[in-house]
Amino acid sequence: MGTRTFRGATILQFSLQTLTSQLGLLVGPKGFGHYWKTHYADKTFEHLYRWNAFDTAMLIPYFIVMIILAFYGIHRYQLVWLYFKNKKNAAKWSEPPMRFAEGQLPFVTVQLPIFNEQFVIERLIEAVCSLDYPRDRFEVQVLDDSTDETTGVAREIVERYARGFVGMAPQPIVYLHRSNRHGYKAGALDKGLDVARGEFVAIFDADFVPPRQWVMQVIHHFAQPEIGMVQTRWTHLNRNYSFLTQVEAILLDGHFVLEHGGRSRAGVFFNFNGTAGMWRRETISTAGGWQHDTLTEDTDLSYRAQLVGWQFKYLQDVECPAELPIEMTAFKTQQARWAKGLIQTGKKILPRVLKSDAPWHTKLEAWYHLTANISYPLMIVLSVLLMPAMIIRSWQGYIQMLLIDFPLFIASTMSVSTFYMVSQKELYPKSWYKSIIYVPFVMALGGVGLTITNTKAVMEALLGVKSAFARTPKYSVKKKGEKSQAKVYRKRLGVIPWIEMAIGCYFAWTVYYAISTENFFTVPFLVLFVFGYWYTGLLSLLQGRFERSRDPDQEMHEKPYPVGI
């Protein structure tokens, strides 16, 4: 006991000495007081700065970009406000306004679009065949466009479940394979509708595991004849698999809590997420059917359906678990596809929305939703201008920086952390604070690290460059340390990770410059850029290297379509 007391006193004494020394640095001749006097209180060179043409050429585009980003940042605050303001409008699965009569449940078709999903297809079919719904009003379609071993695996599993086995009665499940990928996922869904018997259609991607009660939680909300689609919330099977999946989970939680929650409660347009939702078949046909001229066929159909008068519901309290991408290249592929698809949909749909009779706030929200990814090219411009703008602004004085730069920074950047922390508090009211440690990394990855790949995707969409639907690889992993089959679907990388590393080095130099010139207030912001670019670049280059070093004889399987960016 005495030894512990002695050690405790020693530690306390050391802590007090450390604190005293730090305070001394702040008030000492070279501490914080000195920094403040020399940078902000010294009036010796006041009014000596003169505006010139070079400064104008740098600062005008810099402020234009910052103001646009600030508007999108303020919109995040607005979504939080809409979410809480309209909380009474939240739909709940247990409280549908109307219900189907007992014994008169409608026929439901469950569509499972798959493409090269050999590691997860059995898990999906098992979950879907276990759904609690009368089998005389239920069918499952496995819509397979695969070009690899998945075709044989999926066909065998479907035949087994159709025959039935011990513990599983014969299931109404069919296997439909296309020899071409015309229209990609949209084409497969449309082809399945040709032979579907259901009045309602539920859709699940291969990496989802719908819980047994999912259909019964959703179906009664369609007793209202005006409801055309019901979306449920994604949750995460492998959230704790790695640091990357933790960050991905927070990013998706923000979308499914505050974006979907805020929009649906406010009664403005929101979108089907491509999976874990159910459609009224009549809604699909009256809206023009599945179309494949964008990479986000789900958002495209959603807006067309709402424009012709159908109403959508979002059930935040109905969860549908799914697998998060475990590799950076897979995550970037997914995000780039969504970024490109939303811009394509915006080009196609926004003119119709703006000309429609929808309320102005619905049109404004649609504009923010479908154009949000424009922020990625703007981040490239900001990256180029940040260093010269920082130097120029430091010479102009701290008053201008505090009155102009700081509010823009708060609006465009700090809104990200607020947005995602609110979503965590809503989902995990007792443990949300544990997610605070991930906030800088959410900002670095979601706001900075994806800039290069998503800018490429956005520019392709704006210029009309078409590309194949590159699906996100899934490997059926849940636990930390569990070995994946990633090598089978891993694609060799191009030059983009090296570009990300180079830009990270540039920002590392800006951090050094800021410190050397005692411009400390900009350092935390610049460090986010360094970490964001280096993290995405390094993970893209290094993931899988250690697996291959353990298994050098394993041959790489080249896919006939791009996976890595």
DSSP letter assigned to residue 37: I
| Nearest-5° Cα angle at 373, 367 to 374 | 80
Give 3-state DSSP helix, strand, coil % of the chain, rounded to 5: 60, 10, 30
State the pLDDT at residue 11: 42
Mean pLDDT by 10 residues, the chain (565 residues): 45 45 49 55 52 78 88 93 96 96 94 93 96 96 94 96 95 95 94 97 97 98 98 96 93 96 97 97 98 95 98 98 92 93 97 96 97 94 81 62 64 82 95 91 88 94 84 64 52 79 92 80 83 92 57 37 31
Any bridge partners for residue 140, and if so which?
110, 173
CATH 3.90.550.10 intervals, the chain: 95-352
Strand, coil or helix: 511: helix
Read off the DSSP letter of residue 522: G
Contacts for 497 with CB less than 8 Å, ≥ 6 apart: 536, 537, 538, 540, 541
Residues annotated as catalytic (active site), given as ranges: 145, 298
Q: How many CA atoms lie within 13 A of 245 on its CB side?
A: 19
Environment class of 8 (CB within 10 Å of its CB; exposed 0-12, middle 13-18, buried 19+): exposed
For the chain, the first-to-last Cα distance in angstroms comes to: 60
Check residue 10 and give its pLDDT.
46
Check if the beta carbon of residue 249 is closer than 8 Å to that of residue 236.
Answer: yes
DSSP 58-98: HHHHHHHHHHHHHHHHHHHHHHHHHHHHTGGG---TT--SS
Tokens of 186: 């949209």
Locus of tokens 């290069």: 452
Amino acid 415: pLDDT:
83
What pLDDT is stored for residue 378 in this prediction?
A: 93
CB distance 536 to 497 below 8 Å: yes
So what's the pLDDT on residue 406? Answer: 66
C-alpha to C-alpha distance for 411 and 142, rounded to whole angstroms: 46
Give, for 278, the enclosing helix (H) or strand (E): strand 277-280
Q: How are beta strands 108-114 and 173-177 bridged, if at all?
A: unpaired
Task: For domain 95-352, give the fold.
Answer: Spore Coat Polysaccharide Biosynthesis Protein SpsA; Chain A (3.90.550)
> What whole-number distance in Å separates Cα of residue 158 and Cα of residue 141?
9
